[in-house]
Amino acid sequence: MAGTDAQELLFGWNSLGSDKGARVEFLRDRDIWKAVRTWDRAFLADPLVSYMNADLKETPTRIFRKRATMALGFMLWIRSQLVLTIDQGSAIVTAQVPSDVPPNLKIKFLAWAFSRVLAFNKKLVRNEEARKRQNEYDSKIKIVIAEKIGDESKSMLHIPLIATSPECQGHGYGSALLAKVTNLADSKGLSSWLVSSNILNEPFYNSHGFRAVGDIHLGEGNLNWNKDPIIVQVMIREPVLLKA
Ligand SMILES: CC(C)(COP(=O)(O)OP(=O)(O)OC[C@H]1O[C@@H](n2cnc3c(N)ncnc32)[C@H](O)[C@@H]1OP(=O)(O)O)[C@@H](O)C(=O)NCCC(=O)NCCS
């Protein structure tokens, strides 16, 4: 089971139509590498990513390793989540939708392989500062998510990732993708949540009905960080009731 078959089974969709002139499609295996490049390049200027990198050098090996890891992630997500794109990978959104469909063997294997690769990559990070910052993020965000969302997350739609390649930003791609996902949430009466890694994106999310319910500040009191603290927000959107 792959691509549209999985999406149809999980979400009852097999075609998507278009929004605001931008054609929204399911991401296909053949477009994964372009989607990975979009993700990597879109987040280069992201404050959270810069903080977490802790001056780690972007060597060709490191770039290849993070992109290959992400490609494996996309292989898993297009079979187990909703993954939508515009222009075959120029903009992407992923969404976890509560579902009763049990994962098949292929999904279980991919999930296992992905978690092993992530754990392996973590061990390769020799930079103590980067490790410290990862732990700081993990512990702080865990508390806010538990406090503000808690067990409700199981019955909510979660949006782990949205990105548009730098050269395509500002053309309505992100809005068209997010609108598809929030329309799905509305049609199912589901609340949605996400973690926003860039405070500058707040107006973008607000315009789609998301509101910040909590935040964390990273870098405060860290002598190796001389910039403003990084603000990461947890945001929730309530479903809009659709007219019968
Ligand atoms: C956030 C993001 C996904 C928006 O995608 P997009 O395709 O540019 O979105 P749109 O073209 O629909 O623009 C949406 C709004 O965001 C604004 N915007 C777009 N790109 C922006 C940028 N680089 N910086 C600030 N605002 C931006 C637009 O002006 C627009 O506002 P408007 O509706 O008032 O005109 C995209 O900017 C991106 O990939 N950023 C880097 C990765 C990232 O931050 N992902 C989200 C992590 S929480």
Model pLDDT for residues 170-227, shown as the tens digit of each residue: 999 999 999 999 999 999 999 999 999 999 999 999 999 999 999 999 999 899 999 9
Summarize the confidence of residues 119-144 as an average pLDDT: 91
Percent of all residues in the chain with a pLDDT value above 90, rounded to a whole number: 80
* pLDDT confidence of residue 203: 98
* pLDDT confidence of residue 180: 94
* Contact of 229 with 215, CB cutoff 8 Å: no
Hey, whose CA ends up nearest to atom 32 of ligand 1?
204
Bigger pLDDT: 93 vs 100:
93
Q: Render pLDDT for 216-225 as a digit per residue (tens, 0 to 9).
A: 999 998 999 9
63 vs 202: CA distance, rounded Å: 28
The pTM score is: 0.91
* Cα–ligand 1 centroid distance for 86 (angstroms): 14
Q: Residues near ligand 1 with C-beta < 6 Å? A: 42-43, 46, 91, 162-164, 169-175, 196-198, 200-201, 204, 207
* Cα–ligand 1 centroid distance for 26 (angstroms): 20
Name the pairing type of β-strands 91-96 and 82-86: antiparallel
- Look up the CATH superfamily of 3-237: Gcn5-related N-acetyltransferase (GNAT) (3.40.630.30)
Q: Render pLDDT for 14-59 as a digit per residue (tens, 0 to 9).
A: 556 555 568 999 999 999 999 999 999 999 999 999 999 988 888 8
36 vs 90: CA distance, rounded Å: 9
* Cα–ligand 1 centroid distance for 210 (angstroms): 14
| Alpha carbon separation from 188 to 10, 42, 184, 195, 207 (Å, rounded) | 13, 30, 6, 21, 20
State the closest ligand 1 atom to the C-alpha of 207, by its place in the atom list counted from 1: 33
- Let me know the angle formed at the C-alpha of 138 by 231 and 211, rounded to the nearest 5 degrees: 40
* Cα–ligand 1 centroid distance for 28 (angstroms): 23
Say how many CA atoms lie within 13 Å of 236 toward its Cβ. Answer: 16
* pLDDT confidence of residue 13: 60
3-class DSSP state of 117: helix
Hey, whose CA ends up nearest to atom 7 of ligand 1?
174
> Checking phi first, is residue 208 left (phi over 0); if not, alpha (psi -120 to 50) or beta?
alpha
The single residue listed with the structure tokens 């949006």 is: 159
Can you say whether the dihedral through the CA atoms of 38, 39, 40, 45 is positive or negative? positive
Q: Which three-class secondary structure string do you get for 181-207? A: HHHHHHHHCCCEEEEECCHHHHHHHHC
Q: Render pLDDT for 147-163 as a digit per residue (tens, 0 to 9).
A: 999 999 999 999 999 99
